[in-house]
Structures are given as structure tokens and as C-alpha cells.
Amino acid sequence: MTTSVPVCQYRGCRDSSVPLSIYCARHHADMLDAIHSSLERPPNPEITRVLTDPEFAEALILWVGRDARSCPACDDDAINSRYGERRAASLLPLLRLVVDDFYASDAAIRVPGMKAMVSRAKEEFAIRYPSSPPEIVEALAWCYSFDNR
């Protein structure tokens, strides 16, 4: 039976001096700093407001193609068709704002492994916006996972 030597799981680092965590001492501190800094970012009041609108959740899912495509695509035409140009003109900037806020997570460069990365980004967003509907968080996480492979 062979025993494996633990190595740091931070991207690109293969330091074998991994103590109790899955990161070497240098990267463990980086991870903790990243987690704390992302949690210190205050919630955007406009996002907090829009997340409680059921129409917004439907629009976000439609816009990213969550139920209709095999990969995300921000489809402005789908929003224009469903809601009309006037309503789309107010929805599209909000959709982009929410996506940008979710993507502000640095989990993609700080957390090894796709599943852990997506979980961390979802957790950060949910902490800032505890009232966010699960379908919005899942749609955003789906996009984030495709863009950060």
C-alpha cells in the first residue's frame, strides 16, 4: 500500500509541507484573506431590492438560458421579446448588475476544484443577499462554473 504525501491544493502550488489544511502555510493565509475580503463587501441595495421581484428571477433565468440551453448565453433578444423593449431597457442593466456582483467573487482563483469553487461563490453571494431566491443563485452559479473552467 502506498501512502500519498499531501500537497497544497492551491492552483499551481505543489508544496508538500501541508499541515492541517489543504493549503500550504502561505496559501492558507491567502485563502483566509480572500474569504474575509469577499465577505466584507457590502450588499448593493439595488440588488437586494430586485432579488425579491419574482419577475426578475424569471428574467434572469430566461436571459442566461438556464432552462433552455446547454451553456449560458446572455440573450438580450429573449428579454426584449418576452418583456418588450421598454421593460427590457430597465431589466437588462439590473441583470448585468446582479451577474457582475456574483462574478466579483474571487473563488475561481482562490478555491481549487470546480465544486468547491462554485460552492464558495454561492456562499459569498448568499451571505451578502440572504433573501436571494435559490433559483437565482443556482442560475448565477451555473454561469460562473462555465466561465471559470
Question: pLDDT by residue (tens digit) across 117-128?
Answer: 999 999 999 999
pLDDT (tens, 9 = 90+) of the chain, 149 residues, equals 444 445 545 555 555 554 434 445 555 555 555 555 555 678 999 999 999 999 999 999 999 998 888 888 889 999 999 999 999 999 999 999 999 999 888 888 888 889 999 999 999 999 999 999 999 999 999 999 988 87
Whether residue 32 is found in the same domain as residue 60: no
Same domain, 50 and 117: yes
pTM: 0.73
Domain span at 65: 43-147
State how far the Cα of 105 lies from the Cα of 100, in Å rounded to an integer. Answer: 9
**Same domain membership, residue 108 and residue 36:** no
User: Using an 8 Å Cβ cutoff, are 94 and 105 in contact?
Assistant: no
- First-residue to last-residue Cα distance in the chain: 34
Do 65 and 124 sit in the same domain of this protein? yes
Give the model confidence (pLDDT) of 2-23 as tens digits: 444 455 455 555 555 544 344 4
The reply to whether 67 and 103 lie within a common domain is: yes
Q: State whether 69 and 128 are in the same domain.
A: yes
